[in-house]
Amino acid sequence: MSEEVEGTRTLDEQQEMEDKVISPEKAEEAKLKARYPNLAPKHGGSDFLRKRLQKGQKYFDSGDYNMAKAKMKNKQLPSAPTEKTEITGDHIPTPQDLPQRKTSIVASKLAG
């Protein structure tokens, strides 16, 4: 492998880097604001937290539910999906999708 190193910098780049070192966070903040000018000035507000608290919220639509059920009738019972995708009519869980609670499982023997 060659010993040539990447990242040798010109004097200008060096100065820029030094400025960043003085306040790397502020430089990153400026970058973010440049990319997203409409971003809220302060992160951590209640909007963000409330979104976090609502993780997993899926809205039940009886029309979607019934359509999904109708589709199920024509197919074999599917095994529980391994990946959760965005909610569409196809993915509203139906009672068949949710596995029954299993009784206690007798596990494998100790490796001999």
Partner 1 sequence: ERICTHLQPPTSLQQVSDIISTVEFNHTGKLLATGDKGGRVVIFQQEIENKNQPQFRSEYNVYSTFQSHEPEFDYLKSLEIEEKINKIRWLPQKNAAQFLLSTNDKTIKLWKISERDKRPEGYNLKEEDGCYKDPNTITSLRVPVLIPMDLMVEASPRRVFANAHTYHINSISVNSDNETYLSADDLRINLWHLEITDRSFNIVDIKPANMEELTEVITAAEFHPHQCNTFVYSSSKGTIRLCDMRASALCDKHSKLFEEPEDPSNRSFFSEIISSISDVKFSHNGRYMMTRDYLSVKIWDLNMENRPVETYQVHEYLRSKLCSLYENDCIFDKFECCWNGNDSVVMTGSYNNFFRMFDRGQRRDVTLEASRENSKPMQVLKPRKVCAGGKRKKDEISVDSLDFNKKILHTAWHPQDNIIAVATTNNLYIFQDKVN
How many angstroms separate the Cα of 87 from the Cα of each of 10, 42, 66, 72? Answer: 51, 31, 14, 16
Rule CB under 8 A: choose which of 11, 70, 77, 105 binds partner 1.
105
String marking each residue 68-97 x if it binds partner 1 according to CB under 8 A: ------------x-x-x--------x----
Q: For residues 68 and 89, is the Cβ–Cβ distance under 8 A?
A: yes
**Residue 43 corresponds to which tokens in the numbers above?**
């992160």
**Residue 62 corresponds to which tokens in the numbers above?**
């009886």
Neighbours of 29 (CB within 10 A): 13
String marking each residue 10-29 x if it binds partner 1 according to CB under 8 A: -------x--xx-xxxxxxx
Q: Which residues bind partner 1 (CB under 8 A)?
A: 1, 3, 5-9, 17, 20-21, 23-29, 31-33, 35, 39, 41-46, 49-50, 52-53, 55-60, 80, 82, 84, 93, 98-99, 101-102, 104-112
